Amino acid sequence: ACLLAFSGTRAKWGLVVGAVALGALGLSGGYGEVVRRLYESSEPGSKLAFWKDGAAGTVTVHEFPDGKLLMKVNGGGEVPTDLASLQTFKMLGHLPFLLHPDPEEVLVVAFGGGIALGAASLHSARRVECVEMVPEVMEAARLFAKYNCGILSKMARGDVRLVVDDGRNYILRSRRRYDVITGDATHPASSDSWVLYTKEFYDLCREHLKEGGIMVQWLPLHGLSEFDYRMLLRTFLSAFPHTSLWLFNEYTVMVGTMGPLRVDFGRLRARMEEPEVAEDLRSVHLDDPVALVSCLVMGEEDVRAFVGEGPINTDGHPYVSFSEQRRRGTEAGLPNLLALLHARGSPLPYVTDISPEDARRLRAASDALAWRIRGNIFRKGGMPEEAEEAYRRALEVWSEDMDSESFLRELRQGAYISSYAYANAGLAYERAGRYREAIRAYRRSLKADPGNIKVLVNLGNVYARLGMRREAEEAYRKALKVDPGRFEVHFNLGSLYYMEGKFGKAREALERARSIRPDSPAVLYYLGLVYEKEGEISRAIKCYRLASERAEGPLKKAVQMRAAALMGGY
């Protein structure tokens, strides 16, 4: 399945004490209602439009008030329908067809919402295959029909062949060779996807490409440290020495060709003018060949200089799978966007058969892209005024920059000055230990969306870390007004009251948390501490014993020490 931001490495909203997972909702009504509320709570403001369990995963689709959709698989954000995501999905399908002189056999690894596959199906390939391991996404894809070019109907007619299988194993067993292999958007840091970002996988794909073949693959900016981003690009380069990098606002696409990249501008224009292709590209502002080619931010020499020397990701050493510490504060992808801004090159050296006028427009579009990147950094970093100025500068450089015009319009309407943008900034500040900046960002987030429970919880956590207990309590109380059954809020309040010596209130909050999640070792531990303070030693010992059976690591040791201390003096 596919993974774009809303991050599959979703933002983790930590508790004040311990690494306790986010709580379940209060249980009321039937099982289906409980599940609906549980899934909807993961995307505040959304309506659950689809939900199905399968052997390989649980697929949900969330619909937001503005009409945007988000498909999730096993709780990880997979297929959002914002502009940058749609551009990337569609270019994973279109770009190899626009660059290859005559693609006949094509393989798309992962179906997702069918958007990349739908784009590929608009071209005149003789055979298009897709391999997907979570078949339930095909049912969910009905909701994405306006974006995926009617791909389900084409599959029903047999125009596109679907195989339910693991993508890498399918290629390994296949005797077929392809003109194009497309790796659809799946995040390399997720536990089941890193195998699609190793040297061995890229070598396997290269072996299954025909002479002149092309491989394209999504490479996310979000959820990866600069080290990991460069390492993954370096890994791709190790198998495809002629690698170029294309940027579609918030995501990048790696393109590996068998020889040096040459973009035949005349042929590109002709293919983009095919009616169905032109209509699909127009929907994401990429029907102008100048706009499209301006997204080429690095040719092979630029890529080589950017990645430098260093490790690569392999089956034996999957560095990206062990990079949790490095990924802190990378949810919005800002460090990697900034790195690309400074390292980008000109697309012109890789373009042939281009008129002087189109070359002039391409230079202007490339310069405008630099300003748009700055605007995206400011926008995602919660700095709307600076973002607006950057988008204005982009339009001054190239008045045809439809993306900057669109982002500028959203900013002016206040559509993107949202809880999500400021929450990302707050989370990055918090993980960097810059708590005052985190508080400011979270407050601005709540100004845009006062009922964002995740931001309220995080704001309370930051206040608690700074010893601002009254403010922390106020934030948690507001969170409970939004969702009275929120486990982590009751737990955080209980631990806060305990630290303040308000043992009666601590007991009340922790017992409420325990009613929601009876087996939580952290709750049992803190209840034991409260009972101990209140002189109820036998109840404290009972809590410690239960906690010890369920706890792991440092918490288990702390529980056992408290129990031993009480047992010794009881």
Confidence of residue 33 (pLDDT cuts 50, 70, 90): low
How is residue 342 written in tokens?
Answer: 């400074």
76-80 average pLDDT score? 85
DSSP letter assigned to residue 195: G
Exposed e or buried b for every residue in 512-545, given b needs 16+ CB within 10 A? bbbebbeebbbbbbbbbbbbbeeebeeebbbbbe
368-387 average pLDDT score? 92
pTM greater than 0.85 = no
pLDDT of residue 16 exceeding 60, the answer is no
Pairing of the two strands 69-73 and 76-80: antiparallel
pLDDT at 186: 79
Packed helices 521-533 and 487-500: angle between N→C axes, nearest 10 degrees = 30
pLDDT at 5: 34
Look at residue 430 and give its three-state secondary structure.
helix
pLDDT at 35: 66
CATH top class, domain 486-570: mainly alpha
Confidence of residue 452 (pLDDT cuts 50, 70, 90): confident
312-321 average pLDDT score? 88
Domain 83-353 fold is Rossmann fold (3.40.50)
The two domains 83-353 and 355-417 share their CATH topology (first three levels equal): no
Return the number of other C-beta atoms located less than 10 Å from residue 65's C-beta: 8
How is residue 180 written in tokens?
Answer: 């194009």
| Residue 489 and residue 476 in contact, taking contact as beta carbons nearer than 8 Å | yes
CATH number assigned to the domain covering 435-483? 1.25.40.10
Confidence of residue 57 (pLDDT cuts 50, 70, 90): confident
Confidence of residue 510 (pLDDT cuts 50, 70, 90): very high
Distances (CA, A) of 431 to 8, 11, 426, 438: 18, 11, 9, 9
How is residue 284 written in tokens?
Answer: 């994401």
Look at residue 398 and give its three-state secondary structure.
coil
Distances (CA, A) of 37 to 29, 72, 137: 10, 15, 21
| Domain assignments of the chain as residue spans, ordered by start | 83-353, 355-417, 435-483, 486-570
Q: Comparing 37-41, 165-169, 471-475, which segment has the lowest mean pLDDT?
A: 37-41
pLDDT of residue 179 exceeding 60, the answer is yes
pLDDT at 417: 54
- Residue 237: CB partners within 8 Å, gap ≥ 6? 243, 300, 303, 304, 307
Confidence of residue 82 (pLDDT cuts 50, 70, 90): very high
| Residue 192 and residue 76 in contact, taking contact as beta carbons nearer than 8 Å | no
pLDDT at 31: 52
| Segment (H or E) for 155 | helix 151-157
CATH top class, domain 355-417: mainly alpha
pLDDT of residue 308 exceeding 80, the answer is yes
- Tell whether the torsion through CA atoms of 364, 366, 369 and 370 is positive or negative: negative
